[in-house]
Amino acid sequence: MTAKLNLLGLPWPALTDFFSELGQPQYRAKQLMEWIYQHNVSDFRQMTNFPLTLRQTLEEKAIIGAGEVVARQEASDGTIKLAIRFCDDRIVECVILHYHHGVTLCLSSQVGCKMGCAFCASGLDGFVANLTAAEIVEQIWHANRALSSQSLRVGHLVYMGMGEPLDNYHNVIDSIRFANNPAAFNIGMRNITLSTSGLVPGIKQLAQENLPLTLSISLHAPVDYLRDQIMPINRRYPLPQLMEAVRDYVKTTRRRVTFEYILLAGFNDQLIHAEKLASLLAGILANVNVIPYNEVPGLPWRAPSDKQVRLFVRLLEDRGINVTVRRELGPEIEAACGQLRRRLQRGE
Ligand code: SF4
């Protein structure tokens, strides 16, 4: 018996080929996309504008979605975390966040991660696999289904969940183009943020894609000797190389770059660090997102005090840097990436 074809995330040429093999006109592919992406339907029997015979054939030959939501946690502020199990027992997480500008989905691009950042739950168990482009966009579909009772849809994407997106470059870029397709999720390129720990070759490649998305650099330390301690990638691409790639990126794309800076109490949250950060970013079209650390069981890092966060931010502002403090959404549901997955995989 041949395996059923997963139609969710299937690019347009492959979808039209599939329908022409069934002897169906092209407009059926368009109708199917409407059912999947506008109406979040997974059951061919609900596709009432298809002839009954076609619905039966589709049931025999195809499926919609390869993953299953195996856990859902909801916080009092509306943040929802979904754990999705794909084949081979690979579990990924995505987090639905409600901001004033709309619903944002934090996506995973890999199962596990090779980067080994010292403050991150995703890196603790190492790397398992790259997600396919279809598996990445399936997270958006499950999120839209989770939101449908509130008549909401995902309007913004941040590639900041599990995995290093630029380490799964082609699948991530394909998933971005798919999410942006008006016939699929129709998410504006400017509403998409790709976050990297600092893979310099990937940043250079991305600069050539002509995608007006937002590049976000997970910086977390303003000097090499500190960054080396928490982000092993820094030993391969130290700050001078990284900042040169960022400057070239800004020059090529004319897009403002965001720098993420997790404040770890007593490690990188002192005023001397803010001063060094301001010097590092001088002259770069940049925003800084300061993120007070969300404590992870099993890791030694602590959250900074509110006072320290305020002092850190004020110094950056005094140096003319654009700063926002990322609101902690849903800390009670382990919103830091990788935590729910770790528990599920340990069978807790
Ligand atoms: S912070 Fe991101 S890049 Fe670093 S280990 Fe975690 S998932 Fe990987």
Does pLDDT of 279 surpass 90? yes
Query: Above pLDDT 90, what percent of the chain?
Result: 81
Residue 199 sits in the same domain as residue 326: yes
What is the DSSP annotation of 104-129? EEEPP-EEE-SS--TT-SGGGG-EEE
Annotated catalytic residue 94: no
Confidence class for position 285, pLDDT limits 50, 70, 90:
confident
Residue 73 sits in the same domain as residue 30: no
For residue 209, the SS3 value is: coil
Q: What is the CATH number of the domain that holds 276?
A: 3.20.20.70
Q: Is 65 touching ligand 1 by the criterion CB < 6 Å?
A: no
Does pLDDT of 21 surpass 70? yes
Q: Is 195 touching ligand 1 by the criterion CB < 6 Å?
A: no
Range of the domain at 332: 68-342
Confidence class for position 121, pLDDT limits 50, 70, 90:
confident
Among 196, 197, 234, the mutation site with the greatest number of ligand 1 atoms within 8 A of its Cβ is 197
Q: Is 196 touching ligand 1 by the criterion CB < 6 Å?
A: no
State which of 15, 33, 63 marks the end of a domain: 63
* Gap from CA of 123 to ligand 1 centroid (Å): 6
Q: What is the mean pLDDT of residues 101-122?
A: 90
How far from each other are the two terminal CA atoms of the chain, in whole angstroms?
36
Q: Which atom of ligand 1 is nearest to the CA of 164?
A: 3
Could you report the per-residue pLDDT of 157-169, keeping only the tens digit for each? 999 989 999 999 9
State which of 41, 63, 85 marks the end of a domain: 63
Could you report the per-residue pLDDT of 204-225, keeping only the tens digit for each? 999 999 999 999 999 999 999 9
Q: What is the mean pLDDT of residues 228-235?
A: 96
State which of 38, 63, 88 marks the end of a domain: 63
Q: Please state the separation of Cα 155 from the chain's center in Å.
A: 13
Q: What is the mean pLDDT of residues 144-153?
A: 95
Q: Give me the number of domains the chain comprises.
A: 2
Confidence class for position 335, pLDDT limits 50, 70, 90:
very low
Q: Please state the separation of Cα 83 from the chain's center in Å.
A: 14
Does pLDDT of 91 surpass 50? yes
Annotated catalytic residue 87: no
Catalytic residue, chosen from 93, 135, 164, 334, is 93
- Pick the residue whose CA is nearest to atom 4 on ligand 1: 117
Residue 11 sits in the same domain as residue 115: no
Residue 17 sits in the same domain as residue 165: no
d(CA 249, CA 38): 35
Does pLDDT of 346 surpass 70? no
Residue 347 placed within a domain: no
Could you report the per-residue pLDDT of 46-90, keeping only the tens digit for each? 999 999 999 999 999 999 999 999 999 998 888 999 999 998 889
Residue 32 sits in the same domain as residue 87: no
Q: What is the mean pLDDT of residues 91-99?
A: 91
Residue 212 sits in the same domain as residue 98: yes
CA dihedral (190, 195, 196, 202) in degrees, to 10, reads: -20
Residue 260 sits in the same domain as residue 139: yes
Residue 129 sits in the same domain as residue 275: yes
* Gap from CA of 78 to ligand 1 centroid (Å): 25
Residue 111, token pair as written in the block? 């199962």
- Look at residues 202, 259, 194 and name the one whose alpha carbon lies nearest to residue 227: 259
Q: Is 260 touching ligand 1 by the criterion CB < 6 Å?
A: no
pLDDT of the residue at 347 = 54
Residue 42 sits in the same domain as residue 116: no
For residue 140, the SS3 value is: helix
Number of Cβ within 10 Å of residue 348's Cβ equals 6
Q: What is the mean pLDDT of residues 12-34?
A: 96
In single-letter form, the type of residue at position 284 comes to I
Q: Is 33 touching ligand 1 by the criterion CB < 6 Å?
A: no
Q: What is the mean pLDDT of residues 32-50?
A: 97
Residue 348 placed within a domain: no
Q: Is 123 touching ligand 1 by the criterion CB < 6 Å?
A: yes
Residue 182 placed within a domain: yes
